[in-house]
Amino acid sequence: MSNKKPYVIGVAGGSGSGKTFFLNAFLNHFTPAEVCLVSQDDYYIPQGPMTPEENRLHNFDLPTCFEVEQFEQDVFDLLSYKTVRKQEYTFNNPKAQAKLLTIQPAPILILEGLFIYHFKKINEIFDYRIFIDATAEIALERRLKRDLVERGYSHEDVMYKWENHVMPAFNQFLMPHRKQCDVIIDNNSNELANILSFTENISADLRQRLKL
């Protein structure tokens, strides 16, 4: 076990900003022994079976929807180089089979999610904060593609959540932290080269800084 605290990176951005795309590209620069990733999404409080109408009306875009204490405990365990095991969250999809996630500690710890900068104890431990930005129009277009295909929502349901849950939560809980971030990545285009350039620069800087 290392005596040196892992270097903690935050990756936040609104729904449809392209966090997953960025992270997949970023992680390609490292081995599993060098970096570990914790997603805030896996800490949703399970809601159990819901009717389509209940699912549409339920607001999943609030900090209170998460097991914050468990999230904090697991993060601090990883900071102490302890292995964390966590059930994957399947977004109330009855067809999905949840996996048991085993998260091994590493010199670089990445935390990603909508509210990671809002949770006070978590926000205090970041060494580097990243904000993935996209216009509301582009983000909505991406959200529609994802939710209509991957999660089986109707167009009406997606729009209801976007207008009543997603955007109000983004403006209240995430935007106030944007100016505190070390880098803001404009991800309005779907150009792979743009994201790769950011990930290459950040990863090269980290390798030099951490002597990886």
Domain ranges of the chain: 7-210
Would the pLDDT of 1 be above 60?
A: no
Entry pTM: 0.89
Give the CATH number of domain 7-210: 3.40.50.300
Q: Residue 130 has which token pair? A: 């990243």
Asked whether the CA dihedral 100, 112, 133, 193 is positive or negative, the reply is negative
**Cα 136 to the chain's mean position, in Å?**
18
Contact 198, 22 (CB under 8 A): yes
pLDDT in tens, 55-112: 888 899 999 999 999 999 999 999 999 999 998 877 666 667 778 899 999 999 999 9
Euclidean distance between CA atoms 123 and 57, whole angstroms: 30
> What single-letter amino acid sits at 100?
L
Which one-letter DSSP state was computed for residue 96? P
pLDDT of residue 65: 94
pLDDT in tens, 148-207: 877 778 899 999 999 999 999 999 999 999 999 999 998 887 667 778 888 999 999 888
Euclidean distance between CA atoms 142 and 146, whole angstroms: 6
Q: Residue 30 has which token pair? A: 């490292």
pLDDT band at 136 (very low <50, low <70, confident <90, very high): very high
